[in-house]
């Protein structure tokens, strides 16, 4: 079987094809966060045959993660393993062709440049808005596509960002929620089903971007509410015209240049 043979169910999709697979094989991604979204995105992208995946997360596996973080098992929790290491082991078993790099750190304004070295896309698997705003500013500054994703309770949101072409996260949210109002899954809970939907949408956007199909990336925010089985598509195509965004219009990078960034 040829090197691409294992991906035949994917290459048979004519809009993607072997050319798409080759491009994906020659691409690399930075995955910030190896929690629920990160586990699912990594699973899809590694099995899909991305060339290189760099996974960044400082946390260790705990029993309460297993309900939704599909790469981890009870032994990982008992041993309190680093998430990036436990994930990498499983991912390499799934596809040894993919280069998987692990960095047990949190992405910060200080290290994001180094973490993003030689990557074609940044994927949001984080659980907080401070880090997302750092990713957004860095991606806009360097012109790197990135895919925002967030989950909470039974709801989730996704938006791909192509700097210069689509609105950025700051256009959408204007500002990071103040500390304390930034709700977390620890506070209000989270269903694995929402994670599956949102991470799948993020991974699909990544596959389209990395395989060169930028024409398929539309400026839309997707919002899902699985408790009420509602999916909404919010057109944000004119958001950049309506908002005088300091980040993508004036290149003012407040989070990236912050010296008081919380070092958690
Ligand atoms: Zn913007």
Spacing, Cα 108 to ligand 1 middle (Å): 20
pLDDT digits 0-9 by tens, 173-218: 986 666 656 677 778 899 999 999 999 999 999 999 999 999 999 9
For 166, phi then psi, to 5°, come to -125, 160
Spacing, Cα 80 to ligand 1 middle (Å): 39
pLDDT digits 0-9 by tens, 113-169: 999 999 999 999 999 999 999 999 999 999 999 999 999 999 999 999 999 999 999
Q: Hey, is 174 helix, strand or coil? A: coil
Neighbours of ion ligand 1 (CB under 5 A): 168, 170-171, 245, 247-248
Largest CA distance in the chain: 54
Question: Would you say 102 and 34 are in contact if contact means Cβ atoms under 8 Å apart?
Answer: no
Question: Would you say 84 and 57 are in contact if contact means Cβ atoms under 8 Å apart?
Answer: yes
Spacing, Cα 196 to ligand 1 middle (Å): 28
74-99 exposure pattern, b = at least 16 Cβ within 10 A, e = fewer:
eebbeeebbbbebbbebbeeebeebe
What's the predicted TM-score (pTM) here? 0.95
Spacing, Cα 228 to ligand 1 middle (Å): 31
Spacing, Cα 175 to ligand 1 middle (Å): 11
Spacing, Cα 131 to ligand 1 middle (Å): 16
Three-class secondary structure assignment of 122-159: EEECCCCHHHHHHHHHHHHHHCCCEEEEEEEECEEEEE
Question: Would you say 217 and 162 are in contact if contact means Cβ atoms under 8 Å apart?
Answer: yes
Spacing, Cα 245 to ligand 1 middle (Å): 5
Spacing, Cα 172 to ligand 1 middle (Å): 7
| Residue whose tokens read 């309190």 | 80
Spacing, Cα 173 to ligand 1 middle (Å): 9
Spacing, Cα 218 to ligand 1 middle (Å): 15
Spacing, Cα 139 to ligand 1 middle (Å): 11
- Distances from the Cα of 181 to the Cα of 53, 55, 162, 177, 184, angstroms: 32, 28, 28, 6, 9
For 139, phi then psi, to 5°, come to -60, -40
**Angle 91-25-216 from CA coordinates, rounded to 5°:** 105
* Cα separation, 43 vs 229, whole angstroms: 25
pLDDT digits 0-9 by tens, 91-124: 999 999 999 999 999 999 999 999 999 999 999 9
Spacing, Cα 195 to ligand 1 middle (Å): 26
Spacing, Cα 219 to ligand 1 middle (Å): 12
Q: What is the per-residue pLDDT for 261?
A: 55
The dihedral built from the CA positions of residue 88, 89, 95 and 99, taken in this order, carries a sign that is positive
Spacing, Cα 165 to ligand 1 middle (Å): 10
Spacing, Cα 166 to ligand 1 middle (Å): 8
């Amino acid at each position: 079987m040829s090197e691409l043979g294992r991906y035949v169910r994917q290459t048979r999709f004519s809009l993607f094809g072997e050319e798409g697979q080759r491009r994906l094989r020659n691409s690399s991604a930075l995955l910030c966060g190896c929690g629920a979204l990160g586990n699912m995105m990594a699973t899809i992208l590694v099995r899909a045959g991305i060339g290189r995946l760099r996974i960044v997360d400082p946390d260790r596996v705990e029993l309460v993660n297993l309900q939704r973080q599909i790469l981890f098992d009870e032994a990982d929790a008992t041993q309190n393993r680093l998430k990036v290491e436990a994930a990498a082991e499983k991912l390499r078993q799934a596809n040894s062709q993919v280069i998987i790099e692990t960095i047990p750190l949190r992405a910060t304004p200080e290290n994001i440049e180094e973490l993003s070295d030689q990557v074609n896309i940044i994927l949001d698997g984080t659980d907080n808005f401070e880090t997302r705003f750092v990713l957004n500013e860095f991606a806009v500054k360097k012109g790197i596509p990135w895919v925002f994703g967030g989950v909470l309770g039974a709801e989730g949101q996704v938006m791909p960002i192509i700097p210069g072409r689509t609105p950025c996260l700051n256009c959408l949210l204007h500002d990071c929620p103040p500390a304390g109002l930034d709700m977390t899954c620890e506070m209000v809970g989270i269903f694995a089903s929402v994670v599956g939907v949102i991470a799948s949408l993020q991974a699909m956007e990544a596959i389209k971007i990395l395989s060169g199909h930028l024409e398929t990336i539309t400026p839309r925010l997707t919002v899902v509410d699985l408790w009420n089985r509602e999916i909404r598509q919010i057109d944000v195509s004119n958001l950049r015209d309506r908002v005088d965004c300091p980040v993508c219009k004036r290149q003012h990078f407040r989070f990236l240049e912050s010296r008081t960034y919380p070092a958690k």
